[in-house]
């Protein structure tokens, strides 16, 4: 598995590279955002570990440009910016996970395995409800004739809604279960990710033909009638 580490602090980079090498990962290291983004876009890595405070181009901007290009490579943010607004902005920008510094490399390895779906052979390979199927390892969603690869967080959100088809989940419930945030900080991160899923899996130009239904003033539910 090839990992790109974008980190300008050399001591931290050496610590990460050594730890990931022991976990049998191959790591390429880049120290600035401009060259880091260019390297990601070449499409030769399975995952990116991204610092936020980078020279040339911030990690937030690297992530925004990456997702705007349609690139879905998993990204784990590794940053000393630990405040909740920064973490939420990271997720809103398209991160799959966010690990604050200081950290244990063992936890970073666990986050990488979780994000990529590797090292979990005991789990079922697919989740299915009616005409919607999610592949666990590849994170590919199939909704009738529409197919798309989801980010880890998009996958987790859709899988959560699939637990009880037709049940309406509030934004607060989704934040707690998918982002592990147990109160409502007035963020629109849930809405942002729902829109991304709808765009990826919409059948035609009508968002009502996506697998998620928005219930005004309440929350979201799996739209089991949307593809009929």
Same-domain status, 170 and 84: no
Burial 70-82 (b: 16+ CB within 10 A, else e): eebbbbbbbbebe
Phi-psi region of 111 (alpha: psi -120 to 50; beta: other; left: phi over 0): alpha
181, part of any domain: yes
170, part of any domain: yes
Same-domain status, 99 and 135: no
227, part of any domain: no
Same-domain status, 171 and 142: yes
Could you list the residue range(s) of the whole structural domain that residue 35 is in?
2-116
Same-domain status, 172 and 68: no
**In angstroms, what CA-CA distances link 17 with 6, 23, 37, 105, 138?**
11, 10, 19, 10, 25
Tell me the CATH number at 53. 3.40.50.2300
pLDDT digits (tens, 9 = 90+) for 50-94: 999 999 999 999 999 999 998 989 999 999 888 888 888 899 888
Considering the chain, what is the average pLDDT of its residues? Answer: 88
121, part of any domain: no
Same-domain status, 8 and 105: yes
- Tell me: pLDDT of 228 over 50: no
pLDDT digits (tens, 9 = 90+) for 96-154: 999 988 888 998 998 898 888 765 445 557 888 888 999 877 788 999 899 998 888 89
143, part of any domain: yes
pTM of the entire structure? 0.69
pLDDT at 182: 74
- Tell me: pLDDT of 155 over 70: yes
Tell me the CATH number at 206. 1.10.10.10
Strand arrangement of the beta sheet that strand 126-129 belongs to: 126-129, 132-135, 140-143, 146-149
Number of domains in the chain: 2
């Amino acid at each position: 598995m090839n990992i790109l580490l974008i980190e300008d602090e050399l001591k931290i980079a050496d610590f990460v590279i050594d730890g990931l090498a022991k976990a049998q990962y191959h790591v390429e290291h880049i120290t600035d955002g401009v060259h880091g983004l260019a390297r990601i876009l070449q499409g030769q890595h399975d995952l990116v570990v991204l610092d936020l405070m980078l020279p040339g181009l911030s990690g937030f901007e690297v992530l925004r440009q990456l997702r705007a290009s349609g690139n879905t490579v998993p990204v784990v943010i590794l940053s000393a910016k630990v405040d909740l607004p920064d973490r939420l902005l990271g997720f809103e920008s398209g991160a799959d996970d966010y690990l604050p510094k200081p950290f244990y490399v063992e936890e970073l390895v666990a986050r990488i395995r979780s994000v990529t779906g590797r090292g979990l052979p005991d789990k079922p390979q697919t989740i299915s409800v009616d005409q919607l199927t999610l592949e666990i390892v590849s994170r590919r969603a199939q909704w009738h004739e529409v197919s798309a690869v989801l980010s880890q967080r998009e996958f987790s959100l859709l899988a959560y809604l699939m637990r009880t088809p037709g049940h309406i989940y509030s934004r607060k419930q989704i934040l707690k279960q998918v982002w592990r945030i147990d109160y409502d900080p007035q963020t629109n991160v849930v809405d942002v990710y729902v829109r991304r899923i709808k765009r990826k899996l919409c059948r035609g130009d009508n968002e009502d033909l996506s697998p998620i239904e928005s219930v005004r003033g309440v929350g979201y539910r799996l739209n089991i009638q949307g593809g009929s």
